């Protein structure tokens, strides 16, 4: 899940391809059930937006049918009264036939009106309209719509055939217009001891970001003997991850405490695939996103030595026992390391050599931060 940018506008995930598939299947079943036995309908798709819907619908229809498409083009200046819509493309004889219009979306109903006008003169047996999406709040006509997949609010959407200035039709899911993101959100990533916390302290001031370390928040709760602290302690002491649900809820609460932040440095979060997905969805709902994952790459042997060294002064019980440290690496390697691929798939992964002086590494990271 991520925000999509098309020219000047941003769009956030709205209706998943799984949900679309369920709606399309439901529509196809309902249309089929209402047809008299043996009736062969002609499906007429309204181009361009309907092409994916029509293709999926017709596959789900599961019966003999004919398929045609029309395109309604609007011209300016042909008459002084404004737009003239013209039918492009239907040649079949429709006399006595059952026509089922396939529309991707009906909003004001202007196009629908035009469709009814066109078919009025064709002597069809019946005309039915099936639309995938419908915007009831802007519909201005007294025209029947026989099948509605899903009613939605009046916000601009793209994907699954629908476009913005010609772009976006190719996405398999539906995205909704979103505000331009205001935040810079960065995941500072790397195995235990890589230096995420140290670096975050410098970077948060340089970039005026809020630093959230889930490890620090847990330790704060343990120190103050809160319910959350008591729960987390038994996992942390063993070097195990705290369960996702607990961690995700805590993270969300931390973000909500800083709603006017310029952005966040997430340190120690996400650590699992489901944490990453939850973070994406959570930020997406706010019209925000992760700009990048900056990963400190350091070999494990160096890290164990570093952590044991840190354990002498940090007061962290999970830094003193080598077997607990090894377990933290095991957790990292089995549950967390895969997030590299998760962010790579979104073109958001930036690996950085995490060996060197603190200042040197800050410089390497800030070179990446500046581009995000």
User: Which residues are at the interface with ligand AMP (CB under 6 A)?
Assistant: 192, 214-215, 218, 235-236, 239-242, 247, 268-269, 271, 275, 318, 328
N-term to C-term CA, the chain: 18
CA distance 236 to 304: 17
Which residue carries 């549950």 as its tokens? 335
- Nearer Cβ to ligand AMP, position 129 or 241? 241
H-helix or E-strand spanning residue 118? helix 110-120
Give the shortest CB-214-to-ligand AMP separation in angstroms: 3
How many C-beta atoms surround the C-beta of residue 72 within 10 A? 16
Give the shortest CB-112-to-ligand AMP separation in angstroms: 50
Helix (H, G, I), strand (E, B) or coil at 290: coil
CA distance 214 to 280: 17
Which residues are catalytic, by number? 196, 271, 310, 316, 328
- Nearer Cβ to ligand AMP, position 41 or 239? 239
- Nearer Cβ to ligand AMP, position 56 or 254? 254
Residue 326 near residue 238, CB atoms below 8 Å: no
- Nearer Cβ to ligand AMP, position 106 or 339? 339
Give the shortest CB-331-to-ligand AMP separation in angstroms: 7
Give the shortest CB-229-to-ligand AMP separation in angstroms: 11
- Nearer Cβ to ligand AMP, position 204 or 328? 328
Give the shortest CB-275-to-ligand AMP separation in angstroms: 6
CA distance 36 to 25: 19
Task: Point out the residue whose Cβ comes nearest to ligand AMP.
Answer: 215
Kindly give the interhelix angle for 227-238 and 214-223, rounded to the nearest 10 degrees: 120
Lateral strand order in the sheet of 66-79: 82-88, 66-79, 42-47, 98-106, 126-134, 147-151
């Amino acid at each position: 899940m991520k925000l999509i940018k098309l020219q000047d506008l941003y769009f956030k995930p709205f209706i998943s391809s799984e949900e679309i598939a369920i709606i399309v299947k439901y529509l196809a079943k309902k249309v089929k059930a209402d047809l008299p036995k043996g009736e062969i309908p002609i499906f007429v798709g309204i181009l361009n937006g309907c092409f994916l819907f029509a293709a999926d619908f017709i596959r789900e229809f599961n019966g003999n049918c004919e398929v045609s498409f029309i395109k309604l083009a609007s011209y300016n200046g042909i008459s002084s009264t404004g737009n003239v819509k013209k039918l492009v493309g239907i040649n079949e004889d429709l006399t006595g036939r059952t026509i089922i219009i396939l529309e991707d979306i009906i909003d004001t109903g202007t196009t629908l009106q035009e469709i009814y006008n066109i078919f009025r003169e064709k002597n069809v047996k019946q005309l039915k309209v099936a639309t995938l999406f419908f915007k009831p709040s802007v519909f201005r006509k007294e025209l029947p719509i026989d099948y509605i997949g899903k009613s939605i609010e009046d916000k601009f959407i793209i994907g699954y055939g629908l476009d913005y200035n010609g772009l976006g039709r190719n996405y398999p899911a539906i995205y909704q217009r979103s505000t331009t993101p205001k935040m810079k959100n960065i995941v500072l990533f790397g195995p235990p001891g890589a230096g995420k916390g140290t670096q975050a302290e410098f970077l948060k001031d340089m970039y005026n970001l809020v630093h959230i370390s889930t490890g620090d928040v847990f330790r704060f709760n343990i120190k103050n003997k809160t319910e959350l602290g008591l729960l987390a302690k038994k996992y942390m002491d063993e070097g195990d991850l705290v369960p996702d649900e607990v961690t995700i809820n805590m993270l969300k609460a931390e973000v909500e405490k800083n709603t006017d932040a310029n952005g966040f440095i997430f340190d120690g979060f996400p650590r699992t695939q489901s944490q990453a997905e939850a973070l994406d969805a959570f930020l997406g709902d706010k019209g925000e996103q992760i700009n990048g994952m900056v990963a400190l790459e350091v070999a494990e042997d160096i890290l164990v030595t570093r952590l044991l060294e840190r354990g002498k002064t940090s007061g962290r019980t999970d830094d003193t026992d080598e077997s607990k440290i090894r377990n933290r690496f095991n957790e990292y390697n089995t549950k967390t390391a895969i997030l590299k691929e998760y962010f790579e798939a979104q073109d958001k992964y930036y690996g950085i050599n995490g060996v060197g002086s603190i200042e040197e590494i800050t410089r390497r990271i800030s070179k990446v931060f500046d581009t995000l």
